[in-house]
Structure 1
Amino acid sequence: MSIRRLPEHLVNRIAAGEVVERPASALKEIVENALDAGATRIAIRLSNGGLDRIEVSDDGIGMDSADMALALERHATSKMPDDDAIENVATLGFRGEALPSIASVARLSIDSRRQGGEGWNRTVDNGQLVAEGPAALPPGTRVTIEQLFAKVPARRKFLRSAKAEYAACLDIVRRLAMAHPAVAFAMEHDGRRTLGVQAGDAREERVAALTDRALAENHVIVSLEREGVRLSGVASIPTYNRGVGDHQYLFVNERPVRDRLLIGALRGAYADMLARDRHPVVALFLDVPPLDVDVNVHPAKTEVRFRDPTMIRGMIVSGLRRALDEQGFRAVQNADPAALSAWRAEPVSPTPIGAMPIFDAASVSYNPLASSSFGDRRSSFMTPPPQARAEPAAAPAPEGQSFPLGVARGQVARTYIVAEAEDGLVIVDQHAAHERLTLERMRRAMEGQGVQSQALLLPEVVELEESACDRLEARAAELRDFGLDLERFGPSAMLVRAVPAMLGQSDVQGLVKDLADDLAAYDSALSLKERLDLVAATMACHGSVRAGRVLSVAEMNALLREMEVTPRSGQCNHGRPTWVKLGHGDIEKLFGRK
């Protein structure tokens, strides 16, 4: 087989396949060039999802005719002043392949003018120069791409619908606008304005404007600096989440990336605060010295490689954890307007009020905890489970003290605690709340001398599949640190000798079976720390007070007080909110008073 040189136009089309996959890829390259040119305003116009036309105008430094001709040659760039700059990349685009690659598979027209100079136009149609001459425009650059892949049917037929291609373009612009709050962005699709943000926004305001306005009220600020690396950004509180991970934005040196290391670190930070099928809304920005990160590992520059990936992962996990811990018991507090507007009055119960059980609020023993550190908090809440009972009506609770989660007034459906706060009505899911409190107690115990175990009077045999027994036996030492003492009892059974003391009268059979199922699902995919967190969360769920359990007012208030001083108590171990609040204004709307 003979070897031959490929013609120039074919080489360019092959290169275009690496850089330009779809309209969004071409748009990304052009907008990045505008940002590197120092633009403060970028206007984007799309037609038919970018399949027919993409136009990007900016007010950057512009080009003269000579620079424009050179920019359309392969491997020509203004962003690497010397040959060693590849090790110290400080711009978004640097390969010098985007413009000639796009011009080889579309009709590309560039109009540009430097400040104080003359405008110039250069048009290339699928690799052939078709027009060149003066152009009238303000200082800056306007790039127009028309009929992408029109003459490359093998590539064109693999593009998706106009709506799907437009969604990909919008996502690209949103990410770039998020990374550059000092730049104004405007985007139109088929003559309709679809995105617009002004220059000078605060970073959290820009993120909220480009994702969801509700994030402005349900986020934490992340800030951490270590060994020359700075982590900053915005993250939603766990109870504000989504069913898909499309609102997770990660940036390295203002470059949008989709890196598996960063996504894994993000998942680890929220591991015990969200269910596996829920995802936070996050925009994280890493500023890393250029010599400590390689951005040249992917043609589209969407992946990076860190010199010290362990340190980067640890920064993300610890930075997010610290920011979320500082929020304490915070949860999504605003009532859903759609839920309020859909409310309808229920039929009046035939049971007379006097026959309904009312809790004795006068028996509440208030014992606010003085210390501000989480580790020093203690609560008498249900160490031995109390007997469920109704209490007689009595005088209301004293109003001398104010608490963020209010004072318990009763229990609804034997599941929800109703408390009165100064600014509204607080409703607490007793099982979800106690589940989080139990998990945090287990963690504090693990940081100390381990979880105390309670020996069973009669060891209990739990029958399981042989593979499940193998998994539990392999993790017996880790489980023993949590106070669960079990051993193999034949090929398909486990013998449980002790359980964690703080779980009280838990369902031993259900606990062991759930632990076996969790290890089967996640054991190979999780690190040791994540496996331990999973074990603690499963145990906490089994050791928590269940829905349907009648609580005394003293127990309800003890639960509220412990929630106020426990980190991450605003959500259970699965990401559901543990409490919601109806403000006085919301209640007045329900009754037509406002």
Structure 2
Amino acid sequence: MPVIRQLPPDLINQIAAGEVIERPSSVVKELVENSLDAGATRIEVDIELGGARLIRVRDDGGGIAADELPLAVASHATSKIGSFEDLEHVASMGFRGEALASVASVARFALTSRQRAADSAFRLEVDGGRMQPVRPAQHPVGTSVEVRDLFFNVPARRKFLRAERTEFAHIDDLLKSLSLARRSVEFRLSHNGKPLRLFKACQDHAAALLRVTEVLGDAFPAQSLRIEHAAAGMQLSGWVGLPTASRAQADGQYFYVNGRLVRDRVVAHAVRQAYADVLFHGRHPAFVLYLELDPAGVDVNVHPAKHEVRFREQRLVHDFLFRSLHEALAQTRAGQAGMVPPPEPVAATALAYAYPGMGASRPAPFAQSRLSLGLRDEPLADYAALLGQPPASASIAAALPDADEREAPPLGFAIAQLKSIYILAENAHGLILVDMHAAHERITYEKLKAGRACSNLRSQLMLVPLNLSVSAKEAAAAEEHAEALADWGLELSRSGPSTVVVRRIPALLEGADVGQLATDVLAELAQHGSSRRLQELENELLSTMACHGSVRAGRRLTMPEMNALLREMEATERSGQCNHGRPTWVQLSLGELDRLFLRGR
């Protein structure tokens, strides 16, 4: 074995660069975050050849003193923390003190800065780790950092750079995300001398929404919900896209923790579960969300590039996010849009599987009389039998117009039925088209779920208990959450360090793969401290029941029946999408109809 020796500083910095500096966008991230920490209100980013030739970041922040410039590019030197207590309460974007030293070791680096009280600026140059003397320079208040010929002295790293267009696209995406993090800061981006982006500082909500629109597209505001919710020492705000405005890729998702863009498994899991009941298969929601909590409650020192965080109360954060988003999406109704009221606060001891019922439907604006659609009640009867109750009625309430037409409800009044599939209705804005089967499927589904939430689930005793081998962590989760799982009809008991026994399952899931079901539930409990797998499986079955128990395409409806369906849609949670995430209704405004017929030209 070779002898143990101390690594030279240049090699140490280049190793650190391998962890922190992945590509030119990584350099831009570190430099812009330093500018934000310096209190900048304006940041300019100039790029040449996708960042391979030049990266220049200029800000109007507080600047750096002349005698501190050499320390700024020294390894593990920072002004942002000074003790272990500071590390536990990190509120800045950066704190490790590695970024500038790492960048300067793999590029031709120049740092020019001037403080507000200083008579002049000073400049420090570093060429591949070799530092030059500090000298006076001309520069306004603030700091400029120039990074030229990235990886010029590390050919193996440079050859892994992608095409100019690809590298610049990463930088562009990064600046978009940073502009959403700090909406009060102006950002400018140019490439090869050509200005490409200008994000003006936002002073109010309207300007902030405009910046979101610039990043996510013009259609996003009209297809999103505003979120404002605080509970258990946390605050969640921002915008979430409606399920019908989902994307093929997860490229419209921005989540910030105390102003820091993060990718976190707890967050991703909570968001995925919140959308599980309304999102079309294979689609991804778009959102811009800001989570604020005590810095002591989140550990940002778990990844060299600071992409990931670790929550100290992981389970509580997961429950708070899920509940906030789940109830926001649940309160949407067909024909309605805009900001939703915040859900009831979640208790600090709430468990992810202890959700309340779906709540009362919003009252319809017209007097109600009962009108049955004459549906087949077999699925509802089967479900009622599992609950030990009499069958629920499959009828819906008819809302017949008894008010002035000027007070037309959101989905208007029916005027015709097309091909026995679609309902055509007229409202104050124009024409409404409704997929009658998809709409009634959602209405029936929500009634089934509400019935389940208000009733005790029956469980089925297994003829032969099932022994399962699991990890020690999963076995401990089975023991810890045994009582809560029993409330859902799943009886698990720990029989050894890495074994559990399944004795009962929900009667609704008779015939399911018990081993896979229990394994999935325990895996989620072990990783996230909560699981909705039981509820998801039951929802799948209820969705199938609702599909068979809903009015079918090809059936002729009377005018009162069509109006009844429209009123039920307006009063039913999540009625903008069917059980599979497809839209149930479409609005065509008078302006859109006029354009179709070239009116006014």
- Per-residue CA distance 1:439-494 (angstroms, 9 max, x = gap): 21111101112699xxxxxxxxxxxxxxxxxxxx999976634xx8x66xxxxxxx
**Residues in 2 aligned to 1:378 and 1:40: alpha-carbon distance in whole angstroms:** 60
Given the alignment, which residue of 429, 443, 448 partners 1:442?
448
1:167 is aligned to 2:165: no
For 1:253, which of 244, 252, 258 is the aligned residue? 258
Tell whether 2:546 aligns with 1:540. yes
Pair 23,235 (structure 1): closer, same or farther in 2 beyond 3 Å: same
Task: Report whether the alignment pairs 1:480 with 2:507.
Answer: yes
Q: 1:15 to 1:451 in 2, by over 3 A?
A: closer
- Name the amino acid aligned to 1:372: P
Q: 1:570 offset after TM fit, Å?
A: 1.0
Compare 551-560 and 113-122 and name the one that shifted more: 551-560
- Is residue 250–residue 284 contact of structure 1 (8 Å, CA) maintained in 2? yes
TM-score (norm 2): 0.77
- Spell out, residue by residue over 1:553-586, the C-alpha distance to the aligned partner (whole angstroms, 9 max, x if none): 2221111110011111111222221111111122
Confirm whether residue 382 of structure 1 aligns to residue 373 of structure 2.
yes
What amino acid sits opposite 1:305 in the alignment?
R
Query: Counterparts of 1:325 and 1:157 in 2: how far apart (Å)?
Result: 50
Q: Distance in 1 between matches of 2:376 and 2:303?
A: 58
C-alpha separation in 2, matches of 1:23 and 1:373: 56
Deviation of 1:331 (Å): 7.0
> How many residues are aligned here?
499
What residue is the counterpart of 1:469 in the other structure? none
Distance 1:209 1:291, change over 3 A: same
Q: Report sequence identity in percent.
A: 42
Q: Kindly indicate whether residue 567 of structure 2 is the aligned counterpart of residue 558 of structure 1.
A: no
Aligned 8 A contact 2:111 2:145 in 1: yes
Q: Which residue of 2 aligns with 1:574?
A: 580
Asked whether the 8 Å contact 1:331–1:577 carries over to 2, the reply is no
The alignment's C-alpha RMSD in Å is: 3.2
Moved more, 192-201 or 440-449: 192-201
Answer yes or no: is the 8 Å Cα contact 1:232–1:284 preserved in 2: yes
Q: How does 1:93-132 map to 2 (within 5 A)?
A: 93-117=94-118, 118-130=120-132, 132=134
C-alpha distance after superposition, 1:129-175 (max 9, x if no partner): 24642111110001111111122111122222222211211121111
1:309 is displaced (CA, Å) by 1.1
Secondary structure, counterpart of 1:73 in structure 2: coil
List per-residue Cα deviations over 1:500-542 (Å, max 9, x = no partner): xxxxxxxxxxxx9xx99x9899988763333333333343334
Shift of 1:267: 0.7
Query: Residue 185 of structure 2 aligns with which residue?
Result: 183
Report which stretch shifted further, 37-46 or 412-421: 412-421
- Provide the C-alpha distance between the structure 1 equivalents of 2:553 and 2:155, rounded to a whole number of angstroms: 61
Cα separation, 2, equivalents of 1:521 and 1:162: 47
Looking at structure 2, the residues matched to 451 and 378 of structure 1 have their Cα atoms a distance apart, in angstroms, of 32
Distance 1:428 1:96 in 2: 58
> Equivalences for 1:196-207 in 2 at 5 Å?
196-201=198-203, 202=205, 203-207=208-212
Letter in 2 for 1:562: E
Letter in 1 for 2:115: R
How many Å separate the matches in 2 of 1:324 and 1:522? 25
Paired with 2:518 and 2:278, the residues of 1 have a C-alpha distance of 20
- Distance, in Å, in 2 between the alignment partners of 1:287 and 1:383 is 51
* Map of 1:372 onto structure 2: 363
2:520–2:533 CA contact under 8 A, matched in 1: no
Name the CA distance, whole Å, in 1 between partners of 2:113 and 2:301.
28
One-letter amino acid of the structure 2 residue matched with residue 292 of structure 1: G
**How far apart, CA to CA, are the structure 2 residues paired with 1:259 and 1:370?**
34
Partner of 2:245: 240
1:535 maps to amino acid: L
The residue aligned with 1:347 is none
Residue 179 of structure 2 aligns with an amino acid whose one-letter code is A
Instruction: Measure, in 2, the Cα distance between the counterparts of 1:270 and 1:284.
Output: 15
Instruction: Give the match's secondary structure for 1:279.
Output: coil
SS of 1:181 mapped into structure 2? coil
For residue 263 of structure 1, what is the aligned residue in structure 2? 268
What is the CA deviation profile of residues 407-436 of structure 1, one whole-angstrom value per residue up to 9, with x for unaligned ones?
111111221111111221100011221121
1:242–1:332 Cα change, 3 Å: farther
SS in 2 for 1:408: strand
Give me the whole-angstrom Cα distance separating, in 1, the residues matched to 2:450 and 2:291: 31
Instruction: Give the match for residue 354 of structure 2.
Output: none
Amino acid at match of 1:322: E
Shift of 1:126: 1.0
Letter in 1 for 2:289: L
Q: How many angstroms apart in 1 are the aligned matches of 2:566 and 2:94? A: 54
**Superposed displacement of residue 382, structure 1:** 2.8
Does the 8 A contact of 1:442 with 1:451 survive in 2?
no
Change beyond 3 A, Cα 1:71–1:308: same
Partners of 2:220 and 2:241 within 8 A in 1: yes
Structure 1 residue matching 2:561: 3-state secondary structure: helix
Q: 1:328 aligns with which of 330, 333, 338?
A: 333
Please give the secondary structure, in 2, of the residue aligned with 1:291: helix
Instruction: Single out whichever of 133-142 and 192-201 deviates more from structure 2.
Output: 192-201
Alignment deviations for residues 188-207 of structure 1 (CA, whole Å, 9 cap, x no partner): 12223332111124343322
Indicate which of 281, 295, 312 corresponds to 2:317.
312
Letter of the structure 2 residue corresponding to residue 480 of structure 1: A
- Deviation track 1:238-289 (CA, whole Å, cap 9, x = no partner) reads 1111111111101111000011110111111111110231111101111110
Name the SS for the 2:334 alignment partner: coil
Query: Taking structure 1 as reference, are residues 56 and 557 closer, same or farther at Cα in structure 2, changes over 3 Å only?
Result: same
How far apart, in 2, do the equivalents of 1:571 and 1:158 lie? 45
Shift of 1:32: 0.4
Letter of the 2:87 partner, please give it: I
Instruction: Look up the match of 2:52.
Output: 51
Distance 1:150 1:378, change over 3 A: farther
Report the 3-state secondary structure (helix = DSSP H, G, I; strand = E; otherwise coil) of the residue aligned with 1:154. Answer: helix
Structure 1 CA distance for aligned equivalents of residues 212 and 221 of structure 2: 9
CA distance in 2, matches of 1:404, 1:330: 5
Evaluate the alpha carbon distance shift between residue 105 and residue 371 of structure 1 in structure 2; reply closer, same or farther with a 3 A threshold: closer
Deviations 1:78-125 (A, max 9, x none): 011444211111101000000000000111111110113110111111
Q: 1:414 aligns with which of 420, 423, 426?
A: 420
Aligned to 2:484: none
- C-alpha distance in 2 between matches for 1:441 and 1:421: 26
Is 2:420–2:553's contact at 8 Å kept on the other side of the alignment? yes
Q: Which residue of 1 aligns with 2:527?
A: none
Q: Distance in 2 between matches of 1:273 and 1:173?
A: 31
Counterpart Cα distance in 1 of 2:238 and 2:187: 20
Measure, in 2, the Cα distance between the counterparts of 1:54 and 1:377. 66
Contact 1:222–1:233 under 8 Å retained in 2:
yes
What amino acid is aligned across from residue 77 of structure 2 in structure 1? A
- Residue of structure 1 in register with 2:15 after alignment: 14
> Which residue identity does 2:79 align to in structure 1?
S
The 2-side partners of 1:52 and 1:233 are apart by 37
